Amino acid sequence: MQKLISSGLIGAIFGLGIAISGMANPAKVLNFFDVAGTWDPSLIFVMGGALITTALGYLLVFGARKKPVFDAEFHLPGNKAIDSRLIAGSATFGIGWGIAGFCPGGAIPALGFGGVSVIAFTGAMVIGIVLARSFDGLRLKPAKPF
Amino acid sequence: METEFTPWMSLAGGVLIGISATLLMAMNGRIAGMTGILTGIIPPISTDWPWRIAFLLGAVIAPVLFLAAGGAIPYAVPVSLPLLALGGLIVGIGVYYGAGCTSGHGVCGMARLSPRSIAATVTFMIFTGLTVYVVRHIVGI
């Protein structure tokens, strides 16, 4: 129960941060990338603030603790490969982000106030994850021979 | 559509995102990446789904409470519903194969100086910029 309350509060800080930063506002996100048009450089400050805070915070956490409070270990991604899967996936994500103006972390905190736009985006995004996952599962697990 | 330059609010929001990422590592030992957290509650559901749901609910409810308390969240969507759905589908496929998005790779991974996350972030930032250029200045939507 403590872990659930803690996780909910940490999610709340995340959602509030995203919402006031402008990351949940497609008009602002698209303007950040529109250097040739109505450029709004605000998101540099989001990325800068988030990166410096997280970098210092991680140093503090990893320096002070051998394990997290509610788990036996830190779950850090073990995959170090910079391969075509990573690059093609990231490029694809960029194309979708450029079309819609929402990224996953920007969309979820907007679900409570963003109306049908963010619901349509998020629904389609979940379908995209499900499709990619099932296609990936088929590719990784070839049909059993008779 | 013009948007107002908001360095202080954006910086404050960024710091909150960083505090949240730090706390999630300290408490749960997890990367605060929206793709990873969300994928864990999409079937086949991860066994540790309860904290994921709690985090997502917190992220959805906090901005609503902030608005109810009189806070302002500028919000405008200059994109049609069909393009939002198309973009969403493409984002879903992309973040699955790229194993992360702006929060996971762009903030948490870059903060750990992970070469993999730096490669992913540089790639999606370039492709997002190119896409916005094509959509706005070549196609002209």
Predicted ipTM > 0.85: yes
- How far is CA B86 from each of CA A24, A96, A109, B83, rounded to the nearest angstrom? 18, 7, 20, 5
Query: Half-sphere exposure of A123 toward its Cβ, with a 13 Å CA cutoff?
Result: 11
Q: Does B24 touch chain A (CB under 8 A)?
A: yes
Tokens of A63: 């320096």
Across the A:B interface, residue pairs with CB atoms under 8 Å apart total 500
Asked if B66 lies within 8 A of A31 by C-beta distance, the reply is no
| pLDDT, averaged in runs of 10, over chain A (146 residues) | 96 98 97 95 97 98 95 92 96 98 98 98 98 84 54
User: Is residue A146 in some structural domain?
Assistant: no
Within a 10 A sphere around the Cβ of A71, how many other Cβ atoms?
Answer: 15
Q: Which residues does chain B have with pLDDT short of 70? A: none
Helix pair angle (B81-98, B115-133), 10° resolution: 160
Rounded to whole angstroms, how far apart are CA atoms A131 and A63? 40
Partner-chain residue, chosen from A57, A68, A122, that has the shortest CB–CB distance to B19: A57
Asked if A45 lies within 8 A of B57 by C-beta distance, the reply is no
A112 lies in which domain range?
Answer: 2-140
Domain count, chain A: 1
Rounded to whole angstroms, how far apart are CA atoms B111 and A10? 18
pTM of the model: 0.95
